[in-house]
């Protein structure tokens, strides 16, 4: 039997030009590593090929006189080549600076950072040197210039969340702000999201919208309308033009991001400063039972608007807190000599920026189609998956809608009853009386069901998305054996119930051993049954350890002393830190958290908030300085 016949029987093929082995099964159609062991394993696990057939294939691969190449070493096919029917067609990414191609945006980002960082910085863009493989007209490449990107970056740093106004607004007004019923007040007031990571992600969505508006404005009108489907109204164009062409951009340091980020408005409102807010997280928000049944689905969506988004974030809360402290010292240097206030041009830019955002929040719906507004159009863009090949599931997409609704409520509160005047926008500061009347005028027009506004459409989409998410297919499915004793996931994992029942004890033994090592045998005088905590306290660095009734605020000093003076695994040696011992200590601490997370998931009866429960740390301010 010829070599080709053997390979053909198991749906393998050899590309004679590239000298690579290709799996031609419909579920694969990819190039394989030429290693006989890996090929045999692939055929066994992916396609259930019998051992005799696999043995023939491995013998042929070992006997080849001209060895095959790894897919990573194969030559790149020329542009314009016809598709290979044996290979899966991948829509991926190309590098603007070289011929590098990949199907992963993360791989391409790492390539650009490592190989083309200098060229990227010269372009003045933020890792946007990736072209998506798609059909495009060569004369219509849409590139944002470095000067435009610097101005956009400065404006994004000036995006104001208007939280100061909400902090100084009465509870009754915040209850009305949260309600979507024309004549009904919500039982509980609008509250801030409790996690700094969630607030950063919420404001980032607003920044991305502002960037979309400004980049679309810089496109030629015909390309903007034909390629992006965006049409600006004359009033919107006037606001964008006033902001983009403001004389402020001729001032020294006006294009520096630090100037806008470190600023505070004269009334104390933070301009994109992610400081912690003492508030509840909204877990117990629920409508009173006397509400009518026809509002229940809407209220369920309203109650979940403050749900946290994913906890992953590029910056940690500690880094963000330190950044704000460092920038606070720069603020005074940027003030002029006139009574400690900022120059007038800064307030003008901020005012025009607020007016621009509100122009799109209050955009009129055309022909009864909410998607005619740019904010609803933008919410549709957020529905694409990261690789732009599909759409996000409802459970992932609704968090974007909740973020836009949360931000709009803050903006409309500032629009209705601001703490300061906006003379160029014709908005006066809040009066001392009749504040509710001003808020109601805005609510009735934009924030209630049936108002035909971007907010109303996003809220309706959120309620619909929550309902769809409850009926979606789960992200993964488990299968039970006929006797109900074995649960399996695909063909990869199978767990017997007897093993599962023993798992908590195994994890507990491991956790106790790791805790003994990490505490260096020290057991602080603390009765766990009497530990006090304040779950409503979301202040930065607060935990049960710092609660005064527990007496553990200084316990870390005792543990540090034991860690540095221990005879075994001491973190300090001859007055210097023992780096190897420190890294080993951190590995043990990570292993302890993994065991504790498993124990909480299996024994607590509900899903714990692991990021909150497993991130208690003590940090030395002196070392940070």
Residue-level pLDDT at 511: 93
Q: Using CA atoms in the order 328, 330, 332, 335, what is the torsion angle rounded to 10 degrees?
A: -120
Q: Report the alpha-carbon angle 322-614-325, nearest 5.
A: 5
Residue-level pLDDT at 128: 44
Of 180, 189, 171, the closest CA to residue 435 belongs to: 171
Enter the tokens of residue 616: 């208690």
Contacts for 431 with CB less than 8 Å, ≥ 6 apart? 438
For residue 466, count other CB atoms closer than 10 A to its CB.
22
DSSP class per residue in 508-535: HHHHHHHHHHHTTT---S--GGG----T
What are all long-range contacts of 228-233, with beta carbons under 8 Å and residues at least 24 apart? 229/377, 230/374, 230/377, 233/363
Residue-level pLDDT at 449: 92
Residue-level pLDDT at 118: 67
- The SS3 assignment for 603 reads helix
Of 175, 176, 184, 182, the closest CA to residue 444 belongs to: 182
pLDDT one-digit tens code per residue, 220-230: 888 888 888 89
H or E element at residue 60: helix 51-63
Beta bridge partners of 384: 391
pLDDT one-digit tens code per residue, 380-419: 999 998 877 888 888 889 999 999 999 999 999 999 999 8
pLDDT one-digit tens code per residue, 140-162: 456 788 888 888 888 888 786 56
Q: Distance of CA 190 to CAs 275, 288, 418, Å?
A: 19, 15, 16
Over residues 535-561, mean pLDDT: 84
Place of tokens 């650009």: 112
Specify the pairing of strand 486-489 against strand 479-480. antiparallel
Q: Distance of CA 117 to CAs 27, 100, 112, Å?
A: 37, 15, 6
E strands in 110-247: 130-132
302: pLDDT strictly greater than 80: no
Place of tokens 């955009």: 363
Contact status, residue 93 vs residue 101, Cβ threshold 8 Å: yes
Q: Residue 15: phi, psi to the nearest 5?
A: -80, 110
Task: Report the share of the chain in percent with pLDDT over 70.
Answer: 78
| Residue 596 CA from chain centroid, whole number | 25
- The SS3 assignment for 332 reads helix
Over residues 486-497, mean pLDDT: 86
564: pLDDT strictly greater than 50: yes
DSSP 492: T
Pairwise CA distance, residues 12 & 6, whole Å = 8
Residue length, the chain?
Answer: 625
Contact status, residue 389 vs residue 381, Cβ threshold 8 Å: no
Contact status, residue 224 vs residue 230, Cβ threshold 8 Å: yes
Residue-level pLDDT at 517: 92
Residue-level pLDDT at 616: 54
Contact status, residue 507 vs residue 592, Cβ threshold 8 Å: no
Pairwise CA distance, residues 102 & 90, whole Å = 9
Over residues 528-551, mean pLDDT: 83
pLDDT one-digit tens code per residue, 574-594: 888 999 999 999 999 999 988
pLDDT one-digit tens code per residue, 22-56: 888 887 888 888 888 888 888 888 888 888 888 88
- The SS3 assignment for 101 reads strand
Q: Residue 32: phi, psi to the nearest 5?
A: -110, 160
For residue 134, count other CB atoms closer than 10 A to its CB.
7
What is the edge-to-edge ordering of all strands in the sheet holding 130-132? Answer: 101-102, 93-95, 130-132
């Amino acid at each position: 039997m010829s070599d080709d016949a053997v390979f053909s029987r198991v749906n393998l093929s050899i590309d004679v030009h590239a000298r690579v082995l290709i799996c031609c099964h419909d579920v694969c159609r990819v190039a394989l590593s030429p290693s006989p062991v890996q090929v045999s394993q692939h055929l066994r696990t992916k396609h259930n090929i019998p051992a005799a057939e696999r043995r023939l294939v491995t013998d042929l691969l070992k006997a080849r006189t001209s060895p095959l190449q790894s897919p990573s070493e194969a030559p790149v096919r020329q542009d314009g080549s016809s598709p290979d029917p044996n290979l899966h067609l991948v829509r991926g990414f190309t590098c603007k600076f070289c011929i590098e191609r990949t199907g992963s945006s993360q791989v391409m980002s790492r390539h650009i950072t490592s190989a083309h960082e200098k060229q990227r910085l010269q372009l003045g863009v933020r890792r946007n040197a990736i072209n998506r493989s798609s059909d495009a007209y060569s004369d219509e490449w849409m590139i944002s210039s470095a000067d435009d990107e610097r101005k956009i970056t400065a404006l994004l740093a000036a995006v104001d969340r208007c939280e100061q106004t909400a902090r100084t607004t009465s509870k009754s007004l915040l209850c009305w702000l949260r309600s979507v019923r024309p004549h009904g007040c919500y039982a509980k007031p609008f509250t801030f999201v409790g996690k700094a990571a969630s607030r950063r992600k919420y404001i980032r969505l607003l920044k991305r919208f502002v960037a979309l508006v400004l980049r679309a404005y810089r496109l030629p009108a015909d390309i903007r309308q034909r390629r992006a489907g965006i049409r600006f109204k004359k009033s919107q164009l006037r606001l964008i033009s006033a902001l983009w062409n403001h004389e402020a951009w001729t001032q020294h340091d006006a294009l520096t991001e630090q100037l806008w980020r470190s600023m505070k408005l004269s009334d104390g409102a933070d301009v994109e400063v992610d400081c912690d807010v003492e508030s509840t997280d909204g877990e117990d928000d629920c409508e009173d039972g006397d509400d009518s049944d026809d509002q229940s689905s809407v209220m369920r969506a309203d109650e979940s608007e403050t749900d946290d988004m994913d906890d992953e974030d590029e910056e940690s809360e500690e880094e963000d807190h330190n950044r704000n402290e460092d920038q606070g010292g720069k603020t005074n240097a940027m003030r002029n000599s006139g009574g400690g206030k900022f120059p007038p041009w800064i307030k003008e830019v901020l005012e025009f920026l607020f007016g621009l955002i509100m122009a799109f929040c209050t955009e009129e719906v055309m022909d009864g189609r909410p998607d005619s507004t740019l904010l609803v159009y933008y919410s549709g863009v957020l529905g694409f998956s990261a690789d732009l090949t599909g759409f996000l599931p409802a459970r992932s997409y609704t968090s974007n809608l909740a973020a836009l609704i949360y931000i709009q409520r803050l903006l409309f509160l500032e629009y209705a009853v601001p703490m300061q005047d906006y003379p160029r926008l014709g908005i006066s500061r809040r009066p001392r009386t009749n504040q509710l009347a001003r808020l109601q005028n805005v609510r009735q027009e934009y924030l209630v069901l049936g108002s035909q506004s971007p907010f109303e459409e996003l809220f309706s989409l959120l309620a619909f998305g929550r309902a769809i998410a409850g009926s979606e297919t789960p992200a993964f499915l488990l299968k039970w054996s006929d006797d109900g004793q074995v649960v399996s996931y695909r063909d990869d994992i199978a767990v017997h119930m007897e093993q599962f029942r023993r798992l908590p004890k195994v994890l507990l033994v491991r956790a106790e051993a790791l805790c003994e090592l990490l505490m260096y045998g020290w057991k602080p005088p603390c009765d766990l049954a009497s530990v006090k905590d304040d779950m409503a306290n979301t202040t930065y660095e607060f935990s049960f350890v710092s609660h005064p009734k527990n007496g553990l605020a200084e316990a870390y000093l005792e543990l540090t002393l034991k860690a540095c003076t221990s005879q075994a695994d001491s973190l300090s040696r001859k007055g210097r830190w023992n780096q190897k011992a420190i890294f080993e200590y951190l590995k043990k601490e990570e292993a302890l958290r993994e065991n504790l997370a498993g124990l909480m998931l299996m024994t607590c009866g509900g899903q714990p908030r692991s990021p909150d429960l497993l991130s208690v740390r003590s940090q030395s301010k002196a070392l940070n300085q």
